[in-house]
Structure 1
Amino acid sequence: MSLVTDAFVSQIAAVEPWPGNAALYQPMKSEQVLLSDNASCLAVQAFLKMCNLPVQVVCRANAEYMSPSGKVPFIHVGNQVISELGPIVQFVKAKGHSLSDGLDEVQRAEMKAYMELVNNMLLTAELYIQWCDEATLEEITQPRYSYPYSWPLNYFLVFQRKWEIKRKMKAIGWATKTLEQVFEDVDQCCQALSQRLGTQSYFFNKQPTELDALVFGHLFTILTTQLTNDELQEKVKNYSNLIAFCRRIEQHYFEDHDGSISSSIKLSKGPTLP
């Protein structure tokens, strides 16, 4: 299929109504998913809920290898398969659903800048902790990442992924950072987010945007995931408005009618949201 034909087919598919059988694929939650992947999956779930678009969460041990980009989550909508928050936001926008249409150009630019901050700081910190902190790597990352596979494939896949992450850390100047410096970066990111949020319910106006979904995904996951120490959680807990922000989205978008929290965001380990 040519690029022109492919673009035409994608455009036609994009304007079709959102189907009732749309599915979001992610790794196995209780046995496999890691902090960074869970944060990304939760951000997409939150975004789709904010758009009032139904999606069934499907857990697969090989979700990472099913994804067209090699990253989770990905959604299967009709004949389309789209992975990661950015492309999913664009796909949903093409179907007529957008959380940021009410923003002006300056606000859109600011929103994108804060989303870059979250990806560059929080996501990178999560990857660093998972793959570069030896205690976390040995106790959490290695057994969870290798869970679906038998030896020696499990050993090879962990080694390969660790090498990829360390190469990325070296490229962006994080390889020489200490764990304490990474925690400090997280604190600075949280401080910037806390100042921008202030006393508002959401980061822009009274309605959530893509930024709110992204921030919720990462902060909620950090707050509810048990690691080898509590330092990462404590950095977030220092900001009461961010805690309230996470609780607000959890209750509004993920709480069932009976008052219980949807099983799609429950983790196998970790405390409840403070």
Structure 2
Amino acid sequence: MSDVEADRSSNFVLVTRKGGFGLPTACPSCLPVYLYLRFANIAFNLLYDVTNPDSDHIPYFEYGYYVAFNNEKGGVIETLKQEGIADLDPKAPNTYFSEWLSTKALINTWLATAIEYEIWVASDSSNACKIYFSDLPWLLAKVLYKKQSQDVKRRLGITDANASEREEEIYRNATLAYVASSLRLGDQSFFFEDRPTSVDALFLGHALFVLHVLPVRNPNQKPRERRLKRRRNFGEERSTSLQLKRLLWLCSYHSLEGLKELNCKMVMRMDLLTMIRLFT
């Protein structure tokens, strides 16, 4: 890195939600941005915002006198690309541009929806409160959690009448997204050209969140049975099972063999990321 680049990067600051669960940031929206910057070998300072727990402008990236918010201009990663700070992605008419774009859309829709559903609807409030509201008074955290949960249900079109059907649909879509990702990844370490792009940052951020944060569930238990169990026993014991079980949970009941294969590849890629010290 040249002196000019070093001086410029000294002004780079990524602001995220707090770390936890063994991750530098436990927020599913912040973690892919962190990984993208590390993939791009961009030096930056990491700070935590604990004053705006439910704001959708987090994460944000400060560069000089400018700030890139998550809810503006397509998000932080898009701004990093537009400003020439870090651009790892292919451009049209690259031969794999359309496939890269469709893979990215799959992660940002079906997998993102599954994570959102798990945090705010399917689980009790414990994980959400640790990630978003741990610095707030208990009562305020509960109020904010309930409000966000209702907003997510409304956005996902979930009602008392269709809750089971929507849950099955969300998990079915997540399963299909995992299978498609597994086929795309093949035997490679990265999705495209044996080098990281934003797709790798998005998917790895998703996988790490699933593996480290989400509780393990019985994949053979029906959605209604799970909800009744939650009402009887508020709160869930964390499992010390293998990582495979954590990843299989989100995918519900289908395509277990394909997901086992994908999980092995994700573990391999996480070993690679450990070697390049993503979390240092």
TM over 0.5, shorter chain: yes
Aligned to 1:267: none
C-alpha spacing 1:219/1:82, structure 2 compared with 1 (3 Å) = same
Matches within 5 A, 1:120-269: 120-133=109-122, 136-142=123-129, 145-150=132-137, 152-170=139-157, 177=165, 179-227=167-215, 229=217, 231=219, 233-234=247-248, 238=257, 239-255=259-275, 262=279
TM-score, normalising length: structure 1? 0.71
Which residue in the other structure is 2:12 paired with?
22
**What per-residue deviation string (whole Å, max 9, x for no partner) do you get for residues 114-163 of structure 1?**
11111111110111112222xx1244335654322225432331222112
Task: Give the structure 2 partner of residue 114 of structure 1.
Answer: 103
The size of the alignment, in residue pairs, is 237
Task: Please name the residue that 1:81 is paired with.
Answer: 67
Once the two structures are superposed, the pairs formed by residues 21-100 of structure 1 within 5 Å of their partners are 21-30=11-20, 38-64=27-53, 70-84=56-70, 86-93=74-81, 94-95=83-84, 97-100=86-89
Output the amino acid matched with 2:39. M
Is the 1:43–1:214 contact (alpha carbons within 8 Å) kept by the matching residues of 2? yes
How far is the alpha carbon of 1:225 from its aligned partner? 2.1
User: Is there any run of 5+ residues in structure 2 with no aligned partner, and where?
Assistant: 220-245
- The 2-side partners of 1:87 and 1:143 are apart by 24
Q: Does the residue aligned with 2:62 lie in a helix, a strand or coil?
A: strand
What's the % identity of the aligned pairs? Answer: 21
**Does the 8 A contact of 1:25 with 1:74 survive in 2?**
yes
TM superposition shift of 1:29: 2.2
Give the Å deviation of 1:46.
Answer: 1.5
Per the alignment, do residues 140 and 58 of structure 1 end up closer, same or farther by CA in structure 2, a change over 3 Å counting? Answer: same
RMSD: 3.5
Deviations for 1:156-202, whole angstroms, at most 9, x for unmatched residues?
Answer: 3122211211111118xx85535444333221110011111112222
